[in-house]
Amino acid sequence: MLHLRLITPADRTDDVVHLIERTVGTAHLVVLPGAARDPVGDVVMCDVAREAGDELIGGLRRAGLDETGSIAVEDIDLSLSRRADEAEEEAPGEGADAVLWEGLTEATHEESTLTVTYLAFITLATMIAACGVVLDNAILIVGAMAVGPEFGPLAGICTALVRRHPRLAWRSLIALLVGFAVAMAVTVGFSLFMDVIGLFHRSQLDGERPNTAFVYAPDWFSFIVAVLAGIAGTLSLTSAKSGALVGVAISVTTVPAAANAAVALAYGDPSQTLGSTNQLLLNLLGIVLAGTLTLLAQKWFWTKQRERLS
């Protein structure tokens, strides 16, 4: 269940209440006349089944409540109520499968913003991966994948394409491109520094690397894994199964490929630089393609669900 706390202008409260009452899957409606001070108005609260939440939130936004008042949404971890159980049964589909499009847009907007913290994480992840590729250490590679924050902008691009939100697409693309450019540039300098102090050596990059050679040798499996990871990551973002994102992060080779390209560039190895760059681009393409198609499929599914029950 989701809990909604609304601030409505006094002259719009009846319309908001009627909208809530008409929405299948709502319960626990509370109206507090004149309780709001900033902005001035009434406070309306209700609970709604997750699978009906997007319809209700969309209706409130179409009514302009986000402009004239306020819409706050939070998850309910525990709700002991027979009426809540009935509301969940009345709502179409399953809560775990439901997509809150407004929530997804807001989440990807935050995750795809170019910030100092984002740059720090992607740079640190790339530097860790650089150590992993030079030492042929799979554990460091996995750790770098888990640290990398690049799935946020990728999800932002997918969401922007489906929602037709050009500002989100542009913001996500900037975060992705600038993030990798900065991370790779810093990693080039880091690699040269490590070489000067004797911790990196070109022979390590050119030698046999059975655990990490895949990062500069893209093939069809690279694309297939990226597609599968894009589907899993998108489902994780749009459902209640957010824990799956960690598995997604360590199943694609975006950060390791960027790191290997940076190290190879530092040593003047065009072959590995090109191979790693192709690996990076192939993974990014696979994730964006799969994520966009997954969101389109979910959008189609829920549209059909509503049509069937209307």
Q: Give span(s): CATH 1.20.1080, the chain.
A: 103-304
pLDDT, tens digit, for every residue of 8-67?
999 999 999 999 999 888 999 999 999 999 999 999 999 998 888 888 998 998 999 999
Average model confidence (pLDDT) for the chain?
88
CATH 1.20.1080 fits 103-304, yes or no: yes
State the DSSP code for 100: -
pLDDT value of residue 120: 96
pLDDT value of residue 245: 57
pLDDT, tens digit, for every residue of 279-308?
999 999 999 999 999 999 988 887 776 666
> Distance between CA 49 and CA 130 in Å, rounded?
46
Q: Give span(s): CATH 3.30.70.120, the chain.
A: 2-96
> Distance between CA 51 and CA 74 in Å, rounded?
14
Q: Which regions of the chain are under pLDDT 70?
A: 93-97, 240-251, 305-310
The architecture that CATH gives domain 2-96 is 2-Layer Sandwich (3.30)
Q: What is the pTM of this model?
A: 0.82
Q: Is 108 helix (H, G, I), strand (E, B) or coil?
A: helix
Neighbours of 214 (CB within 10 A): 18
Please report which helix (H) or strand (E) contains residue 34, including its range: strand 26-37
User: Residue with structure tokens 């740079």?
Assistant: 123
User: Residue with structure tokens 């997007």?
Assistant: 54
